Structure formats: structure tokens, C-alpha cells
């Protein structure tokens, strides 16, 4: 069984708005490495649609992008992508798959079938999966910014505190810190 790792950009005040993080070659390289280390991507519908609207064009070379960004896009194009949605059924982007039905069962089956692990990149979905006790690790890229707005990490709450064990903390040149935690069970 593979691990489910939640990874997201977050500001010091907990904002997970994708426009608030620092997007440079080093941060893209960080997420490319994470993607390489995992066997599949997992998103909610909103994140899928945001990603689908931009990254395939970058992978095809239809949009200008630095080398690290294009590398991410090409690898993302080839990676299996799983989407949780109760409202959308059609996912035409290359290697996209729908997870329907019971969330716990569907995600557990994905973990069981993906020994290299699953990389989760959706904040609202992470809250639901954390409530189901399915997240094993957290790899947060904490940006040196205070946004003063939301959405924020776990803004709809959890039933209890999650105790985590620090695996590593690595500063990036831009001032962001890559934080890797594992659930302390």
C-alpha cells in the first residue's frame, strides 16, 4: 500500500490561494520531485479544472514557460490523475480517472493499488480525507508571505488535533521552507 501525501503551497497565515505562493524554478523543481516520487496525483474537481485549463497547453508547447515549468507540465501530462467529484463525470485530460462513490473506499483502493504513493493537492479534499484518517504525510511549501485572506488550510475544521512528526525542513532560496511531516499515530 502506498502513502497518501498531502502537498500544497501555504502562506504563513495559512492561505492556500494558488496565486499567493512564489512560483519560480526552484519551487517548480520541488513539486516536480514530489510528483516523481509518487505514482499518481489526486485532486478535487475544482483543482482538476484549474490544472486542466493551463498545464496541457504548457506540456504541448502552446504556452511560453521556463524549463522547470515545462518539465513539470510534461511529467504531469504523463502522470495518472485521479479526481473526486460528485458533479462531473467526464475527465478528458490525458490519464485522468474519476473516483466515484464512497470517498473512503475509493481513496483507500487507490492507495492500495499505488505502491509508489499518491500525491494529494487539493485543500478542501484534504480536509475530507483527513477527517477519514487517510492522509499519511504532509509536504507543505510554506511561503514567506502573509496574505490576509483565504481560502485557508483546513478552514472548515477537523474533529481533533493532528500530531505530526517532523521528517525534514529545507529552506529554498526564495525564502519558502519545504516542510515534510508524517502522521504520528
pLDDT computed for residue 69 by the predictor: 85
> How far is the C-alpha of 166 from the C-alpha of 185, rounded, in Å?
13
Residue range 145-168, pLDDT digits in tens: 999 999 999 999 999 999 999 999
For the entire predicted model, the pTM comes to: 0.95
pLDDT computed for residue 119 by the predictor: 98
Average pLDDT, the chain: 95
Place 178 in a pLDDT band, splitting at 50, 70 and 90. Answer: very high
Residues 75 and 36 sit within 8 Å (Cβ to Cβ):
yes
Helix axes 25-37, 67-78, angle to 10 degrees: 20
Per-residue pLDDT, averaged over 137-141, amounts to 98
pLDDT at 67 over 90: no
> How far is the C-alpha of 5 from the C-alpha of 7, rounded, in Å?
6
pLDDT at 185 over 80: no
Place 25 in a pLDDT band, splitting at 50, 70 and 90. Answer: confident
Q: For residue 19, how many C-alpha atoms fall within 13 Å in the half-sphere facing its CB?
A: 4
Residue range 29-47, pLDDT digits in tens: 899 999 999 999 999 999 9
Per-residue pLDDT, averaged over 76-92, amounts to 96
pLDDT computed for residue 1 by the predictor: 82
Amino acid at each position: 500500500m502506498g502513502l497518501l501525501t498531502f502537498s500544497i503551497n501555504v502562506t504563513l497565515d495559512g492561505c492556500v490561494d494558488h496565486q499567493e505562493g512564489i512560483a519560480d524554478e526552484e519551487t517548480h523543481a520541488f513539486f516536480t520531485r514530489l510528483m516523481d516520487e509518487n505514482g499518481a496525483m489526486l485532486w478535487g474537481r475544482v483543482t482538476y479544472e484549474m490544472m486542466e485549463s493551463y498545464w496541457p497547453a504548457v506540456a504541448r508547447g502552446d504556452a511560453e514557460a521556463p524549463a522547470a515549468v515545462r518539465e513539470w507540465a510534461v511529467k504531469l501530462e504523463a502522470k495518472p490523475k485521479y479526481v473526486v467529484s460528485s458533479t462531473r463525470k467526464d475527465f478528458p485530460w490525458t490519464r485522468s480517472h474519476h473516483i466515484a462513490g464512497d470517498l473512503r473506499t475509493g481513496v483507500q483502493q487507490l492507495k492500495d493499488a499505488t505502491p509508489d504513493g499518491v500525491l494529494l493537492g487539493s485543500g478542501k479534499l484534504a480536509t475530507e480525507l483527513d477527517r477519514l484518517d487517510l492522509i499519511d504525510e504532509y509536504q507543505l511549501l510554506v511561503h514567506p508571505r502573509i496574505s490576509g485572506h483565504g481560502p485557508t488550510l483546513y478552514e472548515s475544521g477537523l474533529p481533533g488535533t493532528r500530531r505530526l512528526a517532523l521528517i525534514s525542513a529545507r529552506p529554498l532560496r526564495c525564502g519558502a521552507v519545504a516542510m515534510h511531516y508524517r502522521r504520528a499515530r
